[in-house]
């Protein structure tokens, strides 16, 4: 196992639960894209037009969340901040309203429960919405989890299940007799294994360079954390804005923190927090909820998400035997964690890929088939 983000940790936990020996290689567990996630579990609002297979995947993973969280909290003794609060997508101007209507139609055609709210209904749900609010879409099935707590819980569960954490950077997947035989570690040494699961996020492609080329690239994301002075949450649920180039959203935590995310930028492995991103995020947030102005800015972060040409994950066996992909989760890593863990564990233990994951195997990116 390479990569101790939420994906790698959850797979390791499931594999250890199936009584396999697991070594999880990562110099900084939970420090990548998992740490720069708001924790929105929004299969409904984040639906991608025309990507029904991906929507089925995200909905299936969202459906597993309650059981996943219950099991994980019991196994780890750590609460992960899972809240079924719904999300509110807010329209300000006429263009926003048109987008809102298209989204509603698309969702209703797929029997995804959403509720169209007037401006006053929306403000009844969130009194601090901007006066220009012209309407909203409430998605009761969009929930939220705290990604840092999720990492903490998964690490604890892994330790209790006997997973060995290897605190080193993997440099490449090793091949022996035509099979993946483990990974080489920075500074020498290696971890040998009959099966190597690559869950190294945006760094996954580097590990298999020359072995199997996969089009996984870094997609930069930046977010801010604000906080109310008294610790009382400013919002009751996730509030999202429309368009403006950014996908602006605000996710309240119970302690008064408010996560404002997130940019989507093609910048390679750059993880600096830029003036432009901070400006844009604050501009969009205060446009939706002017009271944001009064909040204290307490944290900013940037990370590289693992993107693929079709924005969908890369799951299942590689062409090279003994190598398994679990990456490319792009903006859906937290949401897809439960399902990915189950799918990959089933693949490693029983050798079969679940039907729902079949569209996301690596064969779709094989030479000559790469969509870009």
268 binds a second copy (CB under 8 A): no
CA count, 13 A, side-chain hemisphere, 267: 17
State the SS3 of 185-244. ECCCCEEECCCEEECCHHHHHHHCCCCCCCCCEEEEEEEEEEECCCCCCCCCCEEECCCC
300 binds a second copy (CB under 8 A): yes
Helix axes of 147-161 and 52-76: crossing angle, nearest 10 degrees: 60
Q: 40 - beta bridge partners?
A: 144
C-alpha span between 143 and 237 (Å, rounded): 9
Using the contact rule CB under 8 A, the part of the chain among 209-217, 282-290, 307-315, 324-332 near a second copy is 282-290
6 binds a second copy (CB under 8 A): no
DSSP state of 347: H
| Residue of the chain from 153, 175, 295, 335 that contacts a second copy (CB under 8 A) | 295
Q: How far is the CB of 71 from a second copy (least distance, A)?
A: 38
274 binds a second copy (CB under 8 A): yes
Q: How far is the CB of 292 from a second copy (least distance, A)?
A: 5
Among residues 269 and 279, whose Cβ is nearest to a second copy?
279
C-alpha span between 199 and 5 (Å, rounded): 8
301 binds a second copy (CB under 8 A): no
Among residues 272 and 372, whose Cβ is nearest to a second copy?
272
Least Cα distance to 115 among 95, 87, 94, 91 occurs for 87
| Residue of the chain from 53, 297, 358, 363 that contacts a second copy (CB under 8 A) | 297
| Residue of the chain from 116, 286, 301, 364 that contacts a second copy (CB under 8 A) | 286
106 binds a second copy (CB under 8 A): no
Q: 2 - beta bridge partners?
A: 25, 198
Q: How many residues bind a second copy (CB under 8 A)?
A: 20
The residue written with tokens 């994950």 in the block is 313
Whole-angstrom CA distances from 147 to 110, 144, 367 are 29, 9, 35
| Residue of the chain from 108, 294, 363, 366 that contacts a second copy (CB under 8 A) | 294
Q: Are strands 23-25 and 238-240 parallel, antiparallel or unpaired?
A: unpaired
Among residues 216 and 289, whose Cβ is nearest to a second copy?
289
232 binds a second copy (CB under 8 A): no
272 binds a second copy (CB under 8 A): yes
186 binds a second copy (CB under 8 A): no
282 binds a second copy (CB under 8 A): yes
Interface positions with a second copy (CB under 8 A): 226, 229, 272-276, 278-279, 282-283, 285-286, 292-297, 300
């Amino acid at each position: 196992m390479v990569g101790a983000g939420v994906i790698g940790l959850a797979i390791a936990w499931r594999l250890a639960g199936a009584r396999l020996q697991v070594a999880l290689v990562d110099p900084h567990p939970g420090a990548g894209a998992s740490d720069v996630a708001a924790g929105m579990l929004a299969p409904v609002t984040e639906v991608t037009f025309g990507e029904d297979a991906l929507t089925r995947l995200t909905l299936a993973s969202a459906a597993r969340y309650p059981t996943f969280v219950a099991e994980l909290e019991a196994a780890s003794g750590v609460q992960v901040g899972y809240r079924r609060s719904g999300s509110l997508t807010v329209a300000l101007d006429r263009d926003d309203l048109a987008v809102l209507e298209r989204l509603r139609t698309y969702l209703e055609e797929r029997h995804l429960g959403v509720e169209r709210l007037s401006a006053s209904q929306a403000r009844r749900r969130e009194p601090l919405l901007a006066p220009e609010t012209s309407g909203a879409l409430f998605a009761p099935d969009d929930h939220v989890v705290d990604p840092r707590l999720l990492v903490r819980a998964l690490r604890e569960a892994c330790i209790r299940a006997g997973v060995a954490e290897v605190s080193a950077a993997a440099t490449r997947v090793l091949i022996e007799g035509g099979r993946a035989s483990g990974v080489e570690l920075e500074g020498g040494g290696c971890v040998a294994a009959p099966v190597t699961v690559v869950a190294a996020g945006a760094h996954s492609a580097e590990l298999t360079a020359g072995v199997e080329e996969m089009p996984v690239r870094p997609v930069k994301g930046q977010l801010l954390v604000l906080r109310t002075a008294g610790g009382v949450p400013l919002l009751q649920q996730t509030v999202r804005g429309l368009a403006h180039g950014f996908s602006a959203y605000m996710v309240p935590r119970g302690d008064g923190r408010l996560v404002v995310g997130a940019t989507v930028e093609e910048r390679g492995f750059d993880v600096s927090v830029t003036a432009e991103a901070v400006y844009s995020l604050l501009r969009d947030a205060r446009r939706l909820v002017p009271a944001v102005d009064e909040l204290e800015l307490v944290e900013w972060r940037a990370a590289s998400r693992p993107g693929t040409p079709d924005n969908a994950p890369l799951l299942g066996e590689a062409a090279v035997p003994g190598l398994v992909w679990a990456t490319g989760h792009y903006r859906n890593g937290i949401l897809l964690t439960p399902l990915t863990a189950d799918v990959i564990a089933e693949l490693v233990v029983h050798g079969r890929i679940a039907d729902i994951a079949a569209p996301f195997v690596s064969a779709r990116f094989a030479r000559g088939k790469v969509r870009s």
